[in-house]
Structure 1
Amino acid sequence: MKKIFLPVIGAALMASLSMCSKPQAASTAAPSAQANTNPMGNTKGRNLLYFDATANFKRFSYQDSVKYYLAKSKDAGVTDVIVDVKPISGEVLYPSQIAPVMNEWAGFTKTEKFDLLTAFIEEAHKLGMTVHASTNIFVAGHNHFSRGPVFTDPAKKNWQSLNYTAEGMKLISTLKHKYSAMVNPALPEVQKYELSILKELVSKYPKLDGVVLDRVRYDGIEADFSDASRKLFEKYIGKAVANFPADIYTYSKDAKTKDGKPERVPGPLYKQWIEWRAKVIHDFIYEARAELKKINPKLIFGDYTGSWYPTYYEVGVNWASKEYDPSQTYSWATPNYKNFGYAEALDLYTTGSYYFEVAKSEAKNIDVNTVNRTEAGQGKGKEDWYTVEGSAEMAMKITKGKVPVYAGVYVDQYIGHPEQFVKALKMCRAKSDGAMVFDIVHVINEGWWAELKRGLTE
């Protein structure tokens, strides 16, 4: 999800987003029958509200706050709450035997003794609301605070992403303009660790309705170029890479992007590399689903991604249906890329339609020189899918009805424009199965409860 800027005790807090020659057999088997039974029940008309872990840490360190804000959310038309229990720091907000537990944030230490997630589950269920736990997967540190397992656990330091930048190979912990210390999704030990946390979570809370995975992706197109990734990629294509990383891409000495950065020049294995990365994420999604359904067959298995599908390949993710073939439209996709779509594996999919412009007709107003698009894989353009309406329509189109889709808004983008916020919520509901709102902290800070209710109920 997005990063959040908040004032905390007078300080600014950054809180919290060509076919292969010899490919291995693609894992394209259909998900279990459970995916088609709609464990969400009535999927149309549901409204999801996020509760970010760090932005709300102090507020929800008190049990009466949980009860109070759930009641306000219910009154505003929220049907589902998504509680962030594993933020980008790699810590968790519940008693874990595996991951480090966050008891302090931004100088505030939690003193009230209660289980946060249990409180959310019990109070929300009294109100007839559904509770999902959100976990950030392939990230294990907050770069701006040098906090998290990749900084404090020597055994996990080498898990961090190695990025191929125009200045050379850089460990992501040294790239302080990035707030998420992402790890390498292809490493078996990383996948095993993250799966163990998910399984512990679902086992510990049998009354939890669902999980929503976040950051099940690579950091960006620059990641990961470690020797481990090279070897795994070579195994996938069945041959050695003669010139690594140049056979994937190089940086032009002359050509510049619109941002003035050296332009990437695709190499002969660029498309195969994109395909392989999508397979890495696809296979993890299917494995996570299978493992969690063993523990709780009724669990709602969900995922969040950004909505900018035409550029989302940069983070190694194909969230479309397997029935959608992007190679018919986009030059970066191989004919095999469609096999690594994973919409069929999900019971719930929520996407960030994070644009100020709501209607497709507003796309003409986009100023690409000033637009704020800093999320992973986001590009700059004026296509109509850079609007709430256009992105929601695209999400519905390419998921092919395989999973309920909830288009989402980032509340902070509408500060000073409450009517645009209401309009965006109504558009999400009109063009997808419902609305997702990120994050409650902005609704609280702006006092937009009436606006939220209008957007979710009118």
Structure 2
Amino acid sequence: MDDIVRFQTRFLYIALILLQAIILLFGTDLPYARGLSLSKKAPPVISKGVWVTCFSEKKVLYSKEAALELIEFCKNSGISEVYIQLYRGGQAYYDSKIVDRAKYENMLKESGVDVLDFLLQEAQKNKIKVFAWVNALSVAQNKKADIIVKFGDKVLTRDQYLRPSMKGENVNKTDNYYLRDNQLFLEPGDPAVAEYTLAIVAEIISRYPAISGIHLDYARYPYPIPFLPDSRFTRYGLSYGYGASSVTRFKEKTGINPLFLLNDEKNILLWDSWKREQVTSLVEKISKYLKSASKDKLLSCAVVPFPERAYSAAFQDWPGWLEKGIVDYVVLMNYTKDNKLAKETIKSALSQRGMGKVFVGMGNFLMKDDPALLSEQYRITSDLKPDGIVFFSYDDVSNDPTLGRR
């Protein structure tokens, strides 16, 4: 019996060696070889990106030297994606013919050339993607933004008291209890706003074909504090979406005046769905345009990191966008010094990938004086295996000598 056992053991050993040799020669495509690869599957690569603000102290678009410094930083840090802010506060930081270009003219005067063209050339040489960062529905504190001058302040979204979103405007006793935003938001339910925003995106893509895609910011309604779970609770807080055009269109479609829905639970949910649809419609129009211009152009969006709050308070249904393939990926604005909260938020968000991807935006600016906390949060984030990590912002990480080793 011992001889038989030894023979069987030796036979199995030789058969295993032969099978391994076949796998090495032909790969694991053969039906009987699948799952038997000798080498472990390589872990997914987590891409790294960085946000570059238009008010960066590095003044990236003001000289070729500054642009090259950014490229070198990316190469040394393993960063493959740059999100550069080109439209903010109703002002263009690019060669625009349709919006206020005073900022661009200042850049041109200082550099003598369009540095963005140069940056895109250098980025392509080094296989770095550059995305146009566009603040979609915020015009900051610019009451003279072109869109307001052209269409009037009716394009601004308003709360249930018909006030614009910026604190200090039409102050009443509620301001003692609720924190309004420090900027003006446009009304996505106004067709003029959608048309204007789409024109900006189209102009950027047309003028700079080497741009890898569009990165939307503020593709949402204002996010007041404390936030409301839905519009049933407007007596206890603030809710937006009451811009003139959106209210009129909703009334025409449903026969319901959203300003009189306080105790009408059924129709309040209908109103909230309407507001969510206005934001989604804007993002979808941009998505369709991008894909028609080039299938290679990507659309991403910086989002409120908590899926349920984004959905119910900011009316930013980014899980739905991913599910339907409207955006290629989202970047969570996961800005916190609480590493436990950071971890739980990421875990929740990663379950919402749908047809797209979920990147995590880290608030380096909060932890630049606490490298140990920052390093630990980066480790936590990486261990959860998001599709990418984006640092906010370039100014806050450009002097970090350890970034390239993470």
TM range (shorter): 0.7 to 0.9
Alpha-carbon contact 1:213-1:303 (below 8 Å) kept: yes
Q: Given the superposition, is the C-alpha separation of residues 56 and 407 from structure 1 closer, same or farther in structure 2, using an over 3 Å criterion?
A: same
Question: Which structure features the higher share of strand residues?
Answer: 1
- CA–CA separation in structure 1 for the residues paired with 2:259 and 2:322: 26
Displacement of 1:452: 2.4
Alpha-carbon contact 1:83-1:134 (below 8 Å) kept: yes
Equivalent residue number for residue 364 of structure 1 = none
SS at match of 1:181: coil
Equivalent residue number for residue 181 of structure 1 = 184
SS at match of 1:121: helix
- CA–CA separation in structure 2 for the residues paired with 1:273 and 1:354: 30
Equivalent residue number for residue 73 of structure 2 = 72
SS at match of 2:382: helix
Displacement of 1:82: 0.7
Displacement of 1:269: 2.8
- CA–CA separation in structure 1 for the residues paired with 2:44 and 2:193: 33
CA deviation string 1:407-449 (max 9, x = no partner): 11111211321111122223333221121111111224xx3x2
TM-score scaled by length of structure 2: 0.76
Higher relative contact order (CA 8 A, sep 6+): 1
The answer to whether 1:148 aligns with 2:145 is yes
- CA–CA separation in structure 2 for the residues paired with 1:271 and 1:311: 15
Alpha-carbon contact 1:84-1:135 (below 8 Å) kept: yes
Unaligned segments of structure 1, at least 5 residues:
1-41, 250-264, 322-339, 361-386
Equivalent residue number for residue 83 of structure 2 = 82
Aligned residues: 338
Residues 421-432 of structure 1: pairs in structure 2 closer than 5 A: 421-431=374-384, 432=386
Residues 38-187 of structure 1: pairs in structure 2 closer than 5 A: 44-56=45-57, 58=59, 60-87=61-88, 89-103=89-103, 110-140=109-139, 142-143=140-141, 146=143, 148-149=145-146, 153-164=149-160, 168-172=161-165, 175=168, 178-187=181-190
Computing the radius of gyration from Cα coordinates, the structure with the larger value is 2
Question: Which structure features the higher share of helix residues?
Answer: 2
Please provide the CA RMSD for this pair.
2.7
CA deviation string 1:128-185 (max 9, x = no partner): 2111111011123x32x6553366x253432122222xxx331335646633211101
- CA–CA separation in structure 1 for the residues paired with 2:264 and 2:349: 27
Displacement of 1:59: 5.1
TM-score scaled by length of structure 1: 0.68
Displacement of 1:195: 0.4
Equivalent residue number for residue 193 of structure 1 = 196
Alpha-carbon contact 1:86-1:93 (below 8 Å) kept: yes
CA deviation string 1:48-85 (max 9, x = no partner): 10001123474541220110122012201211111110
Task: Give the AA of the match of 1:222.
Answer: S
Equivalent residue number for residue 392 of structure 1 = 346
- CA–CA separation in structure 2 for the residues paired with 1:403 and 1:300: 11
Task: Give the AA of the match of 1:320.
Answer: P
- CA–CA separation in structure 1 for the residues paired with 2:107 and 2:202: 29
CA deviation string 1:234-281 (max 9, x = no partner): 344x2323xx4241x4xxxxxxxxxxxxxxx88553222221111112
Alpha-carbon contact 1:60-1:66 (below 8 Å) kept: yes
Task: Give the AA of the match of 1:284.
Answer: L
